[in-house]
A and B are shown apart, each in its own frame.
Chain A
Amino acid sequence: MERRAVYRNKVLPWLLIGPQLILVLVFFYWPTSQALYWAFTLEQPWGGGNAWAGFDNFLYIFRDNRYWATVLRSAFYALAATGLSMLVALTLASFVDRALKGTKLFQSVFIWPYAIAAPAAGVAFRFIFSPEAGLIGGINTIWPGIWDPATNAAHALAMVIICHAWLGIGYNFVFFLAALQMIPKSLSEAGAMDGARPFQRMMDLQLPLIAPTAFFLLIMNIISSFTDSFGLIDTMTEGGPIGQTEVMVYKIYIDGFKGLDYSGAAAQSIILMLLVISLTFVQFKWVERRVHYN
């Protein structure tokens, strides 16, 4: 970085970076500080006076059982969707990595889910899992009423999680495959010469070598499960049945825009933000350490 900077100019760099800085200040830092301010005041929805509330908004949320249920649900959602998606992607990537004839075709198809908008996948999966139509609903003709995401919270949540996991397959697959292909062939060959079977090589050799990628993906997936779930929930369940699939982001939206509780929504936003920030920090720390390994 230091050796750089060949040009000296007082005005030009500001003209170049100015537009981006203005956008960042107006649409990122201003709203963030606004959220902070609202979280500590009592906001009137239609403007007007606002009174300093200190930590009251946060205390109010923390005393709300419905909020804690949402937090737990979000955590479960994040872990389940992440685990499922990464497992499928890793399995597919390790077989594609064997590079047999025709693998390229599979490889390009496995990326497709990345291209799909969450609401589009949501609508498609809602039909697939619909109790009175679609594919899975068919089991209701064998055991009537065994599957019903419209009234059963566990079914509804499972449906959303499966859809989220499916959407993540493409992204995770790309990273896993790249990491596997980075491992020198000679290492695997040496392992094979020592008599390690493919599964054993996977466990003892490949998995440790792709651990940094796996960790990076783990954090990325968890963050995106917490933040990107809105489109899915909104098209698949709208938080129902009776709020049983409401996750943190969805509750912020409902409380803020439907309930016009700006202070409560802002306080919840701050909590979610702290969560994202701490996850990102964990990731940076790890990446830092990984750099030292190499």
Chain B
Amino acid sequence: MIERSPFFDALTYFAMLVGLVIVVLPFWIVIVAASQSLQEVSRVPISLLPSDQLWINLQEAWARADLGPKMVNSFIVAIGVTVGKITLAAMSAFAIVFFNFKARMICFWLIFITLMLPLEVRIVPTYSIAANALLPFQVILDTFGITWLVQQLSGIQIALNWNLLNSHAGLILPLVATATGTFLYRQFFMTIPDELAEASKMDGASAMEFFWDVLIPLSRTNMLALATIMFVGSWNSYLWPLLITTDRANFGTVVMQLKALIPNMNGTPDWNVTMAGALIIMLPPLLVVAFMQRWFVRGLISRDK
């Protein structure tokens, strides 16, 4: 910037320090409270200095919320959703940009419009479809009389049923479709010169070879950017896991466990354990964002523009 006056520099640092307090204070309180004993954490107002109980509280929170298996579930879901989204987004965008088929713009819009249908507005019916993910196909078969025909011919009653409740597939699949990912990949593929594809064709490479050997390596930056925001998003998802898992013990994720750590109205107000749990649970996505910052920022910005 232009002004180099000491006053403006001081003002800038002051403003940024205030911002730092606003942003960091909640993290600091979580760490401080997580390191205190029950007595210290109950003191009002809370002491802003960390104490020495961090490890004990972390262990207590880990045991109380049964975080071990839940961590495994959270990683399965976050990695599954991230890998799934990237794979499907790349494949769909490849089909839309590089193939000549009539319905490609319709397909693109079908995917793109889902942006306007967030999970929150279709929770009840999405839950009911998760109870039998094959229901739409059954209805199609019934409507066209195929069920009847098959039964007449072979005596077999077609009854498609795939229950996704309380399963990893159920936690992952409904979150895998991605309009933003497809859109981002499409934008990227469109910057690739035609000549590249033509050249690869002339070298005798098939479409899939071109996709695998040329496009995928070229899109590495894109992929890292997408992976970061998608990992964070799926690790932090709450509503869908909450709905689909009644069997918390086996299929719960860590974010769902937070509520179980909040002190009971009439119980011990051991917020130190609660904050220790919150610390464990917020750490993985925070580390991803901190280490992948460069990619993450790029992904975020190119995502919506």
Contact = CB atoms under 8 A, between A and B. Distances in A.
Contact of A127 (B1, B33, B117): B33
B44 A116 contact: no
Interface stretch (B52-60, B108-116, B149-157, B217-225): B108-116
A73 B138 CA distance: 42
Contacts of B13: 100
A166 B23 CA distance: 7
Nearest to B284: A115
Given A117-B281, A123-B274, A32 B117 contact: yes
Given A34-B128, A269-B121, A189 B24 contact: no
Interface string B251-288: 00001101101100000010100110010011001101
B111 A21 contact: yes
Interface stretch (A51-59, A60-68, A75-83, A272-280): A272-280
Interface in B163-192: 173-174, 176-178, 182, 190
A4 B258 contact: no
**Interface class of chain A by DSSP:** helix
B197 interface: yes
A12 B96 CA distance: 11
B300 A174 contact: yes
11 contacts: A13-B104, A16-B99, A31-B129, A110-B23, A120-B278, A120-B281, A127-B29, A133-B44, A137-B44, A252-B123, A265-B124
Closest 10 CB pairs of A and B: A138-B45, A117-B236, A34-B125, A31-B125, A5-B100, A13-B99, A16-B95, A115-B289, A13-B95, A256-B124
Interface of B: 1-3, 8-9, 12-13, 15-16, 19-20, 22-24, 26-27, 29-30, 33, 41-42, 44-46, 88-89, 91-92, 94-101, 104, 107, 110-111, 114-118, 120-129, 133, 135-136, 173-174, 176-178, 182, 190, 194, 197-198, 201, 207-208, 232, 235-236, 238-239, 242-243, 255-256, 258-259, 261-262, 269, 271, 274-275, 278, 281-282, 285-286, 288-290, 293, 296-297, 300-301, 304-305
